[in-house]
Amino acid sequence: MAKSPAVDQELSAVLNQLWKLDVNRLKPGKDYRINLQGKAGFVAPGSNSAQDKANTPLFSYVNEDKLKSMATYRHFINLLDNYEMSTGVAEKVTSEELQENDLFLEAILKTEVMKHAHTYLVSKGQAPSDAAKFKKQLYDIWFQLYNRDRSGGQDSCGFEHVFVGETKHDKEIMGLHNWVQFYLQEKLKVVDYRGYKATDKDQPDDNDHVLSLQFSWKGLVKPLGSSFIGVSPEFEVALFTIIFLKSNERVTKTVVKVDEYMLEVVVCRHGHSIGTSYPKLLSSNNRDL
């Protein structure tokens, strides 16, 4: 019998507090609706052919008025068109884009989610207590450009990879672990949801806040992606930042119990910045596992 993964109890307690404080999380069935449809099949590595097990988009409804009424989402959405899609192409950051980065960080730092995360990180000696210095630390973790593709100069950053998505030489999708970006790209008809990914004993439902899925983006297939659904940008930044700062390992995999979800949160470093980060759903209390 497989051994159950050890749950990080201290981190689980912190993340459950962030979950309770996440007042900007959207409610499934009310603020948004998803349509899971069929279970996605196997896709060979490097292949862009996949049988589509979903005839319609994942998101059948999102209350965009509510999204745009909340500052963190509004500023988050403004960042999504700031990046070159392909690695190997150096990013050119305008003064307007720098201002948009700053406005987003200012907005999330005003939330109780980020205030609690900051307090916790200060208590662990992992963040400066000064708010301006903490903001600079967040900037370096998420927005500092680095060289992901050796041919491309400064062509990537943590925010782009995790929240926006990028491609490797226009042949492979990397990142794109955010539900708002996924929804907006679906709306533009450049993302095609292909079905959910799950074990036979762990079928997802429309109310789940964590989902593994298969999709294509501008003609390229991602065989398996994973993301939170409905949670706020500040919750994701807080969670991934905390796990990033708790270890200097290149890859950190942390098992936590958040609300009804048993998750493995994966965070990979790229020097002093995030390379990638995403949640993997291990189990959910609302199903018999």
Report DSSP letters for the chain, one per residue. Answer: -PPPPPP-HHHHHHHHHHHHH-TTPPPBTTTEEE---SBP----TT--------SS-SEEEE-HHHHHHSHHHHHHHHHTTSS-SBTTS-----HHHHHHHHHHHHHHHTSHHHHHHHHHHHHTTSS-SSHHHHHHHHHHHHT--B-SSTTSSS-B-HHIIIII-EEETTTEEE----HHHHHHHHHTT-EEEEEE---TT----TT-SEEEEEEEETTEEEEEEEEESS--HHHHHHHHHHHHHT--SSEEEEEEEETTEEEEEEEEEETTEEEEEEEEEEEETTS--
Instruction: State mean pLDDT over 144-169.
Output: 83
pLDDT tens digits for 117-134?
999 999 999 999 999 999
Asked if 209 is an active-site residue, the reply is no
Say what percent of the chain tops pLDDT 90. Answer: 69
Reported as a pLDDT band with limits 50, 70 and 90, residue 1 is: very low
Mean pLDDT for the chain?
90
Q: Residue 45: inside a domain, yes or no?
A: no
Question: Kindly report the CA angle at 183 between 179 and 189, in degrees rounded to 5?
Answer: 140
User: Active site includes 161?
Assistant: yes
Range of the domain at 142: 9-38+52-284
Put simply, whether the predicted model's pTM sits higher than 0.95 gets the answer: no
pLDDT > 90? residue 89 = no
Q: Is residue 47 part of a domain?
A: no
46 belongs to a structural domain: no
3 domain residue, yes or no: no
pLDDT of residue 287: 47
Query: Does the pLDDT of residue 151 top 50, yes or no?
Result: yes
Summarize pLDDT for 5-49 with one digit per residue, the tens: 799 999 999 999 999 999 999 999 999 999 999 998 877 666 666
Contact present, 66 and 26 (Cβ < 8 Å): yes
pLDDT over 80 (residue 201): no
Average pLDDT for residues 95-110, to the nearest whole number?
95
Tokens 């603020």 sit on residue: 31
Q: Is residue 1 part of a domain?
A: no
Least confident of 3-12, 94-103, 118-127, 242-251: 3-12
Which of 110-114, 153-157, 191-195 has the least mean pLDDT? Answer: 153-157
pLDDT on residue 22? 98
Q: Supply the pLDDT for residue 198.
A: 84
In a domain, 103, yes or no: yes
Catalytic residue among 161, 197, 209, 257: 161
> Is the model's pLDDT at 267 over the cut of 90?
yes
Q: Is residue 248 part of a domain?
A: yes
- Give mean pLDDT, residues 221-249: 95
User: Residue range 206-219: average pLDDT?
Assistant: 91
Catalytic residue of the set 177, 197, 209, 257: 177
- Whether 177 sits among the annotated catalytic residues: the reply is yes
Residue 202 has pLDDT above 80, yes or no: no
Rounded alpha-carbon distances, angstroms, from residue 176 to 6, 187, 204, 241: 28, 15, 20, 17
Query: How many domains are contained in the chain?
Result: 1
Which of 135, 209, 222, 257 is labelled catalytic?
A: 222
Mean pLDDT for 51-65 is 93
CA nearest neighbour of 50 among 188, 215, 226, 182: 215
Look at residue 213 and tell me if it is in a domain. Answer: yes
Residue 111 — pLDDT band, cuts 50, 70, 90?
Answer: very high
Given a contact cutoff of 8 angstroms between Cβ atoms, the answer to whether 11 and 243 are in contact is yes
Which residues have CB under 8 Å from 182's CB, separation 6+? 58, 59, 176, 191, 215, 227
Mean pLDDT of 131-153: 88
For residue 210, the tally of other CB atoms under 10 A from its CB is: 23
